[in-house]
Structure 1
Amino acid sequence: MARWRLALSVQAVLSQAGWVGIRVIIGYRALSEGADAVFLGLLASCFALPALLAALPSGRLADRFGGSIMAFVGLVTAAAGTVTMLAFPGLPVLLAASALIGLGNLLVIVGQQAFVAHVSSTDSPDSAFGTLAAAASTGQLIGPPAVTLLASLGVPAGGRPDTTIGLFVCLSFSALATPAFFFLRRTDSGMRRGRTDAAGDPLTAGEVLKAPGLWRSLVVSGAVLVTVDLMYAFVPVWATEQSVSAAAVGMLLGLRAAVSVLSRLGLTRLICRFGRKAMLIVSISAAVLSLALLPLVGAWGAIVVMVGLGLGLGIPQPLTMAWVVSLTAASSHGAALGLRLTVNRLAQITLPIAVGSFAAPAGVLGIFWANAALLVGAIAVVAGADAAPATTRKSDAD
């Protein structure tokens, strides 16, 4: 494995472990302070609100200064939000700290994705983004079990976890992720000098959007990412209704992440054989079926559901990133990925609030079925795409 792949993988594993750990534990912290389903939807939106404005500018900054620097700044920003949440109790503080953590996570994601896009400009983007996505899923595998198990130590059966301990665990993950910056900086600096010599004037957001078929990749990406967010926000509600412990929730979410990791092994070979388009349709269909079943099952049935969600949410993410990169010029990869995240964040702001408001009369059944309907729409968008983005070179799979 190239040094940059190893360093990036370590950073992605630890940063994602801290991120998803916070996404799980903050739901319990909000419930302990009297939050309802509507507030949980608002909380999920606050993670995305600042990033809606910062995604495209941060992508341009990543093109200019390097993705490794952006990821480092993001880790520091997310840590500051976690410290704020620990130091000051109350629901309003949860909203403000969530916004700061969401901004930090955005910078980490843009930085890592821009780094991968730049360093893999002469290779298969599916392979490089598959490495990043697999590392991120490994972090999602580690984060929820570690945070919920440690936060549940000494807590009576059926009781809520100690969210202060859980947040400290998340903060530790972020701190351990920062040293990877020093290993990534040298590779990033060399690639950036090469791009600066060859690049012309940067494209505007409107010009980036004119790339044929780009809007389809953005829509599909947003639908999949919102599904991940809604899962982390509302699985605690499902667990409370089903009397499932926090530790069991952590294990279930860890299982989902483990399946996502496994689904990305040899992904480029699968794409070479079946095509990116077919892989997207099949995987998203698995997520639709799983979401439809989740409100109807208990803890044991949720094991099967999480396997389906692991496949349905694990495969599309690297494919949509590679899809975006394949449609844009190398000098604007960071901007294009930032635009992708802007669309993602817009969906994350509007849809959780809508779904959270719908949850009051309909409960978890309405939450997850509405999410399933959203993914059905994404399948229709993929089905209407041209065949070109759905293929990859045979040599890419070797």
Structure 2
Amino acid sequence: MSGRELLRLIAAQVFLHATMAGMRLATPLLALQQGYSAAAVGLLIALFALTQVFLALPAGRFADRHGLRRPMAFSVIAASLGAGLVVLLPYFPIMCLAALLTGGATGATVIALQRHVGRAAENPTQLKRVFSWLAIAPAAANFVGPFVAGLLIDHAGRMPADLLSFRITFAIMALMPVLCWLLVRGARELERTPPVPGAVPTRAWDLLREPMFRRLLFVNWLQSSSWDVHAFVLPILGHERGLGASVIGSILGAFAIAAAAIRVVLPLLAARASERSVILCSTIVTAAVFCIYPLLDSAWTMGLCSVVLGFALGAVQPMVMSMLHQITPHTRHGEALGLRLMTINASSVAMPMLFGAAGAVIGIAGVFWIVGGVVALGSQAVWSLKVRRSA
């Protein structure tokens, strides 16, 4: 795969993923403005991941049958339709539908692009390189989406955060997937591999019988939940502190930049440290940041915490992927990755609803402290992780 084609695919993922990231900032703020509770906002944010839970395996099979462009076309249609509906009907049920559509489109896009890029790599060295660059796309999108949405909400209308500014924001979010399609439509389709006749089907759930895989999945769930809870509770905390939408979007954007930056320099760090030590350090830092966050009042200090948390959580996924490939059989890496994706997305559905309800009872500060305590306790599981070469 040429560098130019890879860059085009990365940009395509950024545009479509940014639609979901921007909607995930704009729709909760509009819901809060309309008087909905933290629990309702938690439900709304959870819906962005709900379709990804059920679409992960079907989307992978669809991509196996049809390649890259057809799954991407359906994803673009779903994402644009979801954001466009809220332009016309900015009501809470329509925002929930938009969350389902844009979330599902993003999950299907990730699977289609990862499959295409992995099959296009010509050797193991190129495989590592292309996946390292592709991993930066979600972090870049998580900056672009909230940052653009926050600026539009504050400055695109007649006054900050009026209904017109939200409609303009949703319209721009609906146009981003179109740019994705313009970038991906000329991509070279790869030759499809026919299924092996008489092959015995495998069950991904059998992997859970392996203790080290269960432990790694639990550790990855802790880090992923921390990421999701931060994305959910930060807009509410900022709203309580009187921060504007552009400021909240910038704080979330700083988190995304830090998560992307650490992945660029991570190969240098990984040469001097094991996967377990990197994940353990990240776990400790994450727990500390969640305990400090509710004590802060200024946007600058919250932004600093966001950057530190971005560095910590951004370093985890490459380490988890490295360990996962070493502790699972080579012939079952795809199943292991699919099970990991389903687990993370299921967590993304449950955690915002759980902590949204908790926030309504104990307050947002209590949510931060509970998450920090759970992550700190999870460091024991990180310490017991061991890597062995799979057969």
Q: Please tell me whether residue 223 in structure 1 is matched to residue 219 in structure 2.
A: no
The alpha carbon displacement at 1:4 in A equals 4.1
Alignment map for 1:207-246 (pairs within 5 Å): 207-210=206-209, 213-246=212-245
Q: How does 1:112-131 map to 2 (within 5 A)?
A: 112-119=113-120, 122-123=123-124, 127-131=129-133
Aligned-partner SS, 1:291 = helix
Q: Distance in 2 between matches of 1:96 and 1:30?
A: 14
Q: Which sits farther off after the overlay, 238-247 or 260-269?
A: 260-269
CA offset digits 1:297-349 (Å, max 9, x no partner) = 12121121011111122111233344444555666544433221211122122
Deviation at 1:36, TM superposition (A): 0.6
Matching residue of 1:345:
345
1:315 aligns with 2:325: no
- CA drift at 1:120: 5.0
Q: SS of the residue aligned with 1:44?
A: helix
The alignment-based identity, stated in percent, is 25
* Deviation for aligned residue 1:355: 0.8
Residue number in structure 1 paired with 2:52: 51
Change in 2 beyond 3 A, CA 1:106/1:57: same
SS in 2 for 1:74: helix
Shift of the 175–374 alpha-carbon distance from structure 1 to 2, 3 Å rule, reads farther
Cα distance in 2 between the residues matched to 1:70 and 1:127: 24
CA apart distance, 1:35: 0.9
Matches of 2:28 and 2:39, distance apart in 1: 12
Count matched residues: 386
> Does structure 2 retain, via aligned residues, the 8 Å contact 1:110–1:334?
no
Partner of 1:40: 41
Cα pair 1:67 1:110 within 8 Å, conserved: no
Tell me the CA shift for residue 155 of structure 1.
5.5
Instruction: Measure the CA separation in 1 of the matches of 2:274 and 2:121.
Output: 20
CA contact (8 A) 1:62 1:111 kept: yes
CA contact (8 A) 2:23 2:173 kept: yes
Confirm or deny that 1:141 pairs with 2:140.
no
Contact 2:152 2:166 in 1 (8 A): no
Is 1:40–1:356's contact at 8 Å kept on the other side of the alignment?
yes
SS of residue in 1 equivalent to 2:363: helix
Cα distance in 1 between the residues matched to 2:239 and 2:232: 13
The match for 1:27 is 28
Verify the 8 A CA contact 1:280 1:382 in the aligned structure 2: yes
Q: Distance in 2 between matches of 1:135 and 1:218?
A: 23
Equivalent in the alignment of 1:171: 174
State the secondary structure of the residue aligned to 1:265: helix
Q: 1:304 to 1:198 in 2, by over 3 A?
A: farther
SS across alignment from 1:59: helix
For residue 368 of structure 1, report the CA deviation from its aligned partner. 1.7
In 1: Cα distance, 2:373 partner to 2:70 partner: 38
Cα RMSD between the aligned structures? 3.0
Match for residue 396 of structure 1? none
Counterparts of residues 1-398 of structure 1 (less than 5 Å): 2-66=3-67, 69-119=70-120, 122-123=123-124, 127-153=129-155, 162-186=165-189, 189-190=190-191, 192-193=192-193, 201-210=200-209, 213-298=212-297, 299-328=299-328, 333-388=333-388
Contact 2:154–2:244, Cα closer than 8 Å, also in 1: no
CA shift, 1:172, in A, is 2.1
Q: Per the alignment, do residues 198 and 277 of structure 1 end up closer, same or farther by CA in structure 2, a change over 3 Å counting?
A: farther
Alpha-carbon distance, 1:37 to partner = 0.5
Q: Distance in 1 between matches of 2:324 and 2:130?
A: 14
Which structure carries more relative contact order (alpha carbon 8 Å, separation 6+)?
1
Seen in structure 2, the aligned counterparts of structure 1 residues 176 and 201 have a Cα distance that, compared at 3 Å, is farther
Q: Which residue identity is paired with 2:40?
A: F
Structure 2 residue runs without a partner (length 5+): none
Match of 1:392 in 2: none
Displacement of 1:364 in angstroms is 1.5
**Whole-angstrom CA distance in 2 between matches of 1:177 and 1:303:** 30
